[in-house]
Amino acid sequence: MKKEYFVPTAAGEQVNLQMASLFTNIRNKIIEVFKTADEVMRSRAVGTIEYEVEELDNIFGIMVLGAFIGIPSPPIQVTMELFPLMEKELHIMLAKVLTAHDPLGDLFSELDID
């Protein structure tokens, strides 16, 4: 006996394609959500280290460029040699000056303590 096969029509094919692209979309969205979540978690995980690195950068800046703010500094030529390469550290130092009146607040906000 001859089996009856489903004969695809043009309209049916259209429906199939729509379904497929819907699934792909959903799958992509789910992947995206997980990726974002992953990024958020990773950022959170390193937030404290990043804060520490910024503090260390600041300390490095102060050690090398201390002459500019009146604290003991290395032999002046060390400052002079490194100064042109330390734009970032200088920015951090200047930014830290703004929060200098409230260092604990700065630290607490970094550690998510209310």
Applying CB under 8 A, the site for other proteins has a residue count of 30
| Nearer to other proteins among residue 67 and residue 110 (C-beta) | 67
State the angle between helix axes of 103-110 and 10-69 in degrees (0 to 180), rounded to the nearest 10.
160
One of 20, 37, 40, 46 touching other proteins (CB under 8 A):
46
Within 13-32, the residues that bind other proteins by CB under 8 A are: none
Instruction: Rule CB under 8 A: choose which of 66, 67, 96, 110 binds other proteins.
Output: 67
Q: Which two tokens stand for residue 39?
A: 């990024």
Binding site for other proteins (CB under 8 A): 39, 42-43, 45-46, 49-50, 52-53, 56-57, 59-60, 63-64, 67-68, 74-78, 80-87
